[in-house]
Chain A
Amino acid sequence: MMLRLSSISGAALAFVCVASVFATNVAAQDHTTDIGTLDKETADKAFSAKPPYSPYAGRNFPTRPYFGDTHTHTSYSMDAGAFGARLGPKDAYRFAKGEEVIASSGQRAKLSRPLDFMVVADHSDGMGFFPQLIGGDPGLLATPQGRKWYDEINSGKGAEAALDIITSFGKGQMPKGFPTPGTPAYRSAWRETIKAAEEANEPGRFTAFIGYEWTSNAGGNNLHRNIIWRDNGAKASLVEPYTTLPPLGSPNPRDLWKWMAMVEEKTGAEILALAHNGNLSNGRMFPIIESFNGKRIDREYAENRTRWEPLYEATQMKGDGETHPFLSPNDEFANYERWDKGNLDLTEVKKPEMLEFEYVRSALKNGLKMEAELGLNPYKFGLVGSTDTHTGLAAVEEDNFFGKTSSSEPSADRAMHPFVKTDKAVIMGWETTAAGYAAVWAAENTREAIFDAMKRRETYATTGPRMVVRFFGGWDFEAADANNRMPARVGYTKGVPMGGDLNNAPNGKSPSFLVAALKDPIGANLDRIQVIKGWVGKDGQTQERVYDVAVSGGRTIGADGRSRTSVGSTVDVANATWTNTIGAGEMITVWKDPDFDPALRAFYYVRVIEIPTPRWTAYDAKYFGVKMPAEVRMTTTERAYTSPIWYTP
């Protein structure tokens, strides 16, 4: 391929050499070299067999990430309906495909760009409850609770009713007549959900998955999981969703897994589950001691959890779940969109000792430790972000944020309206996070390809922007690979992608990683790329460390692997603007673990940080001409988290 260069004029060749000088400006810190020569050498080394003439022939690896949302609620979710959502699954898919819709609040809404896929994931408990309640179902209204909610909704107090519904549900105190699987109202809601996905699904262009949310909320502690089908409606309609209220359902994940096994066996379908909001589980999302029986996690739990839950939703509107300053005191980016006041309904306040069992990073670390004990890692999951919107609108860009619920769609006072308020604590509207999306490296945009990529964890989470992130791990990556013209090909040839495994460390070698990020084409520049490493030391204690591997703006990375200089900020809060005069549009580098011990279990994942940009609250203040109180955060640093690559001795 490079040989054909000789047919270009000498001037062009000279130019190629000149280009290499510019390349030293690239963010990759220490090994930018001549693009032309290295390319050839790398290609020679990378491929044992001679590649075909066309560099694109036989290329069946994923070449672009697909962006989507695995977590959109519509009016079919009881709480969404109570908050005023009027858009159903059909509208949600239309919006995701880039069509303009009228939001429940009457405002016109449209995405900047269509999404590639979506899962409408309405709550399985009480699916269709809201249409039933607002329709004045006599059975429901015969109960004091049902009557109260009905009256509240009709007198404009839908938000109060919704919170009361969530709280009652968390306490298992739902009224008689609540729709359950097997009833006609329930069946018809599920059938409509399936129908909407079937109609919206357009292989190659847009993937509409069939799914729902299993909303285990015992005691107000969030153990929610979304269930996704690989298959079409013919298989999904053979069953009805699993609920959490006994006797038909259960709040215990072990029972959900049993149900999933039953579904696969009886219907031949393939399904997966992904959990979210450990930050609102009060220490129960990633347990070492199971909250349901008080016993240590056993091998059966570990087997089922890894089998059924390949992914975790690490960031969404109810806060970010990567890590917490209490758990990661040396990580200055850890304090991001924190929701740590209590459980989901704020009926129980948070205690610091709960945090370890709530966040991604600590769970990944504990998983390594438990693997040593159980022979299997229960917390070997990949990462995605999603919205958890309850408006039917997966709109989480900072300048196009349609809120968590229909009552928090854009308005002058939404930021200062409490989101949850109890005698224990309050979470204000402004604390809602405009996040996130799921990015999936699939070979094509179909249910099957995206589902399979999710199963192999080749995914990453973003807090909203659509940056491209590549992460490959292997034993033979070298500096020159960062200048290869086809990083993906080198990556797949020499290593494993995000979500993969490394083992059998060759003697004397440390794992090396090809890491790259490209900014959102219409978004902000990148501040830096980091590799987060977690491991279990010889003493059996878990450890973590953050490495800056590529930084923008000519900053340097110290011997400790860190660049402590901030990228700065160009945000003009009053006007809600920023400029891309700082940061980098793209970064690529090869990083080798400087502290590798082949005897110790470890994981590595990538975090990409954007330069500061205005937070949605700044756009609101500007648009509505309101002044936000001092405690309201007005800037954000959007980010992406990849699935880890694990090293097992």
Chain B
Amino acid sequence: MLFALHGLAGKPGTDAPEKIVVSASRIANLADGFARTWRRPPNEQELQGLIEDYIRDEVFYREGRAAGLDRDDNVIRRRVRQKMEFLAEDMSVPEPNDEQLAAYLASNPERFRAEDHLTFRHVFLSATRRQNTIDSDSKQVASVLARADAAVDAAALGDPFLLGEEFRGVSATKVMNQFGERFAKRILAMEEGRWQGPVASGFGQHFVFISERVPGGLPPLDDIRPAVRREWANARRLEAEQKLYASLRARYEIVVEAPRERAAEAASR
């Protein structure tokens, strides 16, 4: 390393000297940086020092690069990569307009579809309480409920349930969280206005009366603008990063000197 530096210093300058320009905006920049640290602007002498320091940086930076010192240094490689990624992210955050958001919503409806919401009551037959008789009890309840109308307080036919007998305006996810996935799927497919069942859960068996169903569907953009904006921005960010990388990568011919099989494998991808 030392030898290399000696070599550098000893190399006679053949061409005209390179120019280092310290622009007015650069000087303002340096002064800003100072002010952020010290909470006051630099005085004349300090500013002169900053400029000198910048020139020193620049001289060494250019000479170092000319000597190829940046190439094998992980520190520099990582720094540059991080900077590029930041730039990619920066480039990706213009405010989207309504057309862009509407288009994104239309092409990704599954991300924004509101869930179905149900209001239902249930008659619960506890597997713990009824153990061996649950199946015969279930048949009896079924025959009673076949004749019952909506006004009947049917829950009293069954056992108390810790989370209650009526669930109002609950989303499909909540039903799944509280009763398990199979139960949720069954009752989401049920029609309204009559007792149906039994439906099994991890707790026992349930007869279910769905009194109201609010179908989810795709809400208008106005109702979900922040969510669409968030997803849009996230998609743009990933896309921009990918695009930038792809375009930069395309400038290189990549040769991986790996063991033969692995290289072949990589090439075939």
Seen from chain A, the residues whose Cβ lies within 8 Å of a Cβ on chain B are 1-2, 4-5, 7-9, 11-12, 15-16, 18-19, 22-23, 25-27, 35-36, 39, 56, 63-64, 67, 90, 98, 113-114, 131, 134-136, 138, 141, 150, 154, 184, 199, 202, 205, 466, 468, 470, 483-488, 516-523, 552, 580, 584-588
Contact = CB atoms under 8 A, between A and B. Distances in A.
11 contacts: A1-B153, A4-B151, A15-B137, A15-B144, A131-B82, A135-B79, A138-B75, A518-B162, A552-B128, A585-B128, A587-B128
Best-buried of B36, B137, B164 by chain A (most CB within 10 Å): B164
A523 B148 contact: no
Given A485-B160, A486-B160, 17 more contacts: A1-B153, A4-B152, A9-B147, A16-B157, A19-B157, A22-B133, A25-B128, A35-B156, A63-B163, A98-B173, A114-B177, A136-B79, A150-B75, A486-B164, A516-B162, A521-B202, A585-B203
Interface in B29-85: 36, 74-76, 78-79, 82
Interface stretch (B3-11, B12-20, B178-186, B208-216): B178-186
A516 to B, nearest CB: 5
Given A64-B163, A114-B173, A519-B202, A25 B156 contact: no
B113 interface: no
B203 A586 contact: yes
B129 A8 contact: no
B118 to A, nearest CB: 15
Interface of B: 36, 74-76, 78-79, 82, 126-131, 133, 137, 140-141, 144, 147-148, 151-166, 168, 171, 173, 176-181, 183, 201-204, 226-227, 230, 234
B202 A586 contact: no
B162 A522 contact: no
B156 A518 contact: no
Instruction: Specify which of A19, A98, A205 lies most central, judged by the most chain B CB atoms within 10 Å of its CB.
Output: A19
A39 B156 contact: yes
Nearest to A67: B177
Contacts of B147: 9
A295 B118 CA distance: 59
A63 B164 contact: yes
A524 to B, nearest CB: 10
A519 B203 contact: yes
Nearest to B83: A135
A487 B160 contact: yes
A56 B179 CA distance: 21
Contacts of B202: 519-523, 580, 585
B162 A470 contact: yes
A487 B160 CA distance: 8
B163 A518 contact: yes
Given A27-B128, A488-B164, A519-B203, A113 B230 contact: no
A90 B234 contact: yes
Contacts, number: 141
Given A11-B144, A519-B202, A134 B162 contact: no
A131 B164 CA distance: 49
A580 B156 CA distance: 26
B163 A141 contact: no
A484 B155 CA distance: 12
A113 B176 contact: yes
B224 to A, nearest CB: 10
Contact of A135 (B82, B129, B173): B82
A392 to B, nearest CB: 15
B8 to A, nearest CB: 21
A11 to B, nearest CB: 7
A521 B180 contact: yes
Nearest to A135: B82
B203 A22 contact: no
Contacts of A36: 156
A516 B128 CA distance: 14
B165 A485 contact: yes
A66 to B, nearest CB: 10
A12 B149 CA distance: 13
Contacts of A90: 234
A16 B156 contact: yes
Nearest to B168: A56
B144 A586 contact: no
B230 A485 contact: no
Nearest to A56: B166
